[in-house]
Amino acid sequence: MRVLVVEDDNDLNRQLVGALSDAGYAVDSATDGEEGHFLGDTEPYDLVVLDIGLPKMDGISVLEEWRRADRKMPVIILTARDRWSDKVAGMDAGADDYLAKPFHMEELLARIRAQVRRASGHASAELTCGSVQLDTKTSRVTCDGQQIKLTSHEYRLLSYLMHHNERVVSRTELVEHLYDQDFDRDSNTIEVFIGRLRKKIPADIIETVRGLGYRMSSSPDEA
C-alpha cells in the first residue's frame, strides 16, 4: 500500500513517514500544498494523510482539486482546527476521515487501515484468502493457524494482493502501489518477491495470469 503524507511541520512529517513505513506502507511525503497536490495528482496512492494548514496551497483546496480531477483515493485530514465547522468543511471538500492534532499515532494507523480496507471493499480487519489470513491490525500473517514470517517487502506485496483478491493486479500496478517514488522501478524485484512468497504460503494461491499480472484467489481453478 502506498501512502502520501502532506505535512509542513518537518518533525511531524518525519514521524509520520517513520510510523507509516514501520507499519508496512510505502510512503511519499510533501511539505507544502503545491508539491502535495502534484504528487497526489500524478501518483496512484492508496491513501493520503493531508494537513489542512499548508504553505503555498491549503489542504482543503488541494483536496478539492483532487476530487474535481476525479482522484478517488481515501483522504484523512489532519489538522489543529478541530471545530465542527472545520470538520464539516473538510468532509464537504471530500475527505473520508478527520483527525485533530495532537493525535496518537496508533489512532491514525487504525483509521488508515479502516480507510484502506473500505476502499478495497473489506469489512473486517482480518483478510482471508483460502488458508491464508492477514491481520491488518497486527500485521501478522498465518497459514492454517501457523504464523508465517515475512520481510516487510513480502508483507506489502501480500497485503496489497489480499486487499485486492479475486482481481488481476498488473505488475505495473504493484510497482506503483508498493514502492515510493524514489524506488528503481525498472527492476524485476516483483517477480523475485512473488517467488519468495510462493515458498512461504501455498503456491497456488497466487496465480500468474499471463501478460496481465497476478491474481490472489481462494479457488484458483475457477479462473
Residues that bind other proteins (CB under 8 A): 9, 11-12, 15, 19, 53, 79-85, 87-88, 90-92, 96-98, 100-105, 107, 114, 118
Residue 215 CB, shortest distance to other proteins, in Å, is: 27
Residue 114 CB, shortest distance to other proteins, in Å, is: 7
CB-nearer residue toward other proteins: 53 or 130: 53
C-alpha cell at 91: 468532509
Residue 99 CB, shortest distance to other proteins, in Å, is: 9
Taking each helix axis as running N to C, give the angle between helix 33-42 and helix 59-68, from 0 to 180 degrees, rounded to the nearest 10.
Answer: 20
> Are the C-beta atoms of 49 and 108 separated by less than 8 Å?
yes
> Are the C-beta atoms of 34 and 6 separated by less than 8 Å?
no
CB-nearer residue toward other proteins: 104 or 210: 104
C-alpha cell at 179: 514502492
Residue 124 CB, shortest distance to other proteins, in Å, is: 11
Residue 118 CB, shortest distance to other proteins, in Å, is: 7
CB-nearer residue toward other proteins: 10 or 147: 10
Burial of 85 (0-12, 13-18, 19+ CB in 10 A): exposed
CB-nearer residue toward other proteins: 81 or 140: 81
CB-nearer residue toward other proteins: 92 or 204: 92
Distance CA 141, CA 146 (A): 8
CA 122 from chain center: how many Å? Answer: 14
